[in-house]
Amino acid sequence: MDDCRELLKHMLGSIAYRVQKALRGAPFEFGEFRATPDTRNPRELVRHINSVLGYARTFFIGGTYRPEPLESLEEEVRRLHRTLHDLRKSLSDGPFEPISAKQLLQGPLSDAMTHAGQLAMLRRMAGSPVPPENFVFADVSADNVTADQPDPIAPDEVWEAPGT
């Protein structure tokens, strides 16, 4: 079970890394960019990622998790990293009941990673694409779920924008 917990913690580190990768260098107005009237803007999407991870934490601590919207993307990001930290701690301390490690991975953690990818897609749609990198070599750490993520180790030097 210890290997399983370490893998899940690494997934949390990967989520933190991918969210920060998608947000690094974003223009100030990006937080309110809306691709269509019916899609979440980045601020709302980060809040949703936080909700998904807060929900995951309820399996360890009980209760419910329904965060109120915050006014800025920066505030939502700070709250997200606090939730990542708290969930990481819960993975160290709590038993896996009534949810299994596999269910945690296939449900809320995979959902959060999907939404991190959506942030990157929204950056492209907003006209500020995220430079690609080879994530196999990324400096992801299970111990680092903060907003202070390292720069890419293996950025793609040659990158073609769509339509070129």
pLDDT for 155? 74
pLDDT in tens, the chain (164 residues): 589 999 999 999 999 999 999 999 999 999 999 999 999 999 999 999 999 999 999 999 999 999 999 999 999 999 999 999 999 999 987 777 788 999 999 999 999 999 999 999 999 999 999 988 999 999 999 999 999 999 998 777 665 555 55
pLDDT for 126? 97
Residue tagged 């897609």 (tokens): 121
55-to-21, 28, 124 alpha-carbon distances in Å: 24, 29, 29
Phi, psi of 155 (to 5 degrees): -70, 150
Name the strand (E) or helix (H) holding 22. Answer: helix 2-23
Helical ranges in 24-158 per DSSP H: 42-61, 73-93, 101-104, 110-125
Q: Are 158 and 30 in contact (CB under 8 A)?
A: no
pLDDT for 159? 59
pLDDT for 103? 95
Q: Are 35 and 122 in contact (CB under 8 A)?
A: yes
Domains of the chain: 2-137 (1.20.120.450)
